Amino acid sequence: MSAAPSVAESTALYDIPGPRTRARHRVYGIVSAAAIAVLLGWVVHLLFATGQFTATKWRPFAYQGIQDLLLRGLAHTLTAFACAAVLSLALGGVLACGRLSAHPPVRWAATALVEFFRAMPVLVMIFFIFVALQVRALPALVAGLTLYNGSVLAEVFRTGVNSVERGQGEAAYALGMRKTQVMTYVLVPQAVRAMLPTIISQLVVALKDTSLGYLITYEEFLHAGKLIASNLDYDLPFIPVVMVISPIYIGMCMLLSWFAHWLAGRRRRVPGAEAAGAAPAAPGTPLPGGR
């Protein structure tokens, strides 16, 4: 078990704050907390003043039909996200291979596709596929999300492969491995481990963008909330709907973000990952075993 770091090691990049600085920071913290509390109190006051907590606006959430509508919308959102995530990863891998190809025509074609779909707004692609190509709502939404996120992930994969130490690929070639074997067994595994947090962060973007499906009448979570919020029988409960569905969206995104941080921390604890990122030995350093 390693010893705890000393004070000198833990403060190598900054000076230890003195008593006056700590007192000033404490005052800043108290003032900031008070300002946030005042702001929250003002927001809650406005919500009460505009009647957002009346029983009429919150009554729909007590009905089984409304609950089923929200659950069905959430299931449709997760379905679209799962399909888009899998297809985006697959498309990103294919385009990254094209970008890394040694054949110029393949590399140029992959680069053109990546740059085009990265520059095209997601909503424009979804509308084009849905209206011009007359594709149904779910495939249109999944296709638009796949084209955009797949092109972004292609750049993530390409950057990850290029970030692997060049000497590892050269050593694999020296052992007689073909390029496909070098990519499959040496470069890609290390690149994927290094890029996992970035990959999952992009998947968070895909999850949030599933809400664009309501614009093409796909019955996802936001579409279900819109149906409830526009109901005149319950005095247009827009704010209560936002207060119900927003924490669920935030919770799903936070869960994916937590998964990315967990993977990054787990990778730092894996000895093989640390060894893969170790700096090369200095010239003249004897190899293990005295060779």
- 245-274 pLDDT, tens per residue? 999 999 998 888 888 778 767 766 654 444
* Mean pLDDT on 177-198: 78
**Alpha carbon distances (Å) from 63 to 68, 228, 242, 249, 264:** 9, 12, 17, 22, 42
For residue 253, what pLDDT is reported? 87
**Alpha carbon distances (Å) from 55 to 59, 233, 237:** 6, 12, 10
For residue 268, what pLDDT is reported? 62
* Mean pLDDT on 209-235: 88
pTM: 0.76
- 125-142 pLDDT, tens per residue? 999 999 999 999 999 999
For residue 172, what pLDDT is reported? 78
- 60-87 pLDDT, tens per residue? 888 999 999 999 999 999 999 999 999 9
In the predicted structure, residue 205 carries a pLDDT above the cut 60: yes
Residues with Cβ within 8 Å of residue 190, at least 6 apart in sequence: 164, 168, 276
Every domain of the chain and the residues it spans: 69-269
* Mean pLDDT on 142-154: 95
- 91-124 pLDDT, tens per residue? 999 999 899 888 899 999 999 999 999 999 999 9
Could you give the maximum distance between any two Cα atoms of the chain, in Å?
A: 84
% of the chain with per-residue pLDDT over 90: 43
- 5-51 pLDDT, tens per residue? 444 444 455 567 788 888 888 999 999 999 999 999 999 888 888 88
Neighbours of 83 (CB within 10 A): 18
Residue 225: which of 94, 28, 72, 114 has the closest Cα?
Answer: 72
For residue 82, what pLDDT is reported? 95
Class for the domain spanning 69-269? mainly alpha
Query: Which amino acid is it at 273?
Result: A
Question: How far is 236 from 230, CA to CA, in rounded Å?
Answer: 5
* Residue 287: burial class (beta carbons within 10 Å; 0-12, 13-18, 19+): exposed
For residue 283, what pLDDT is reported? 46
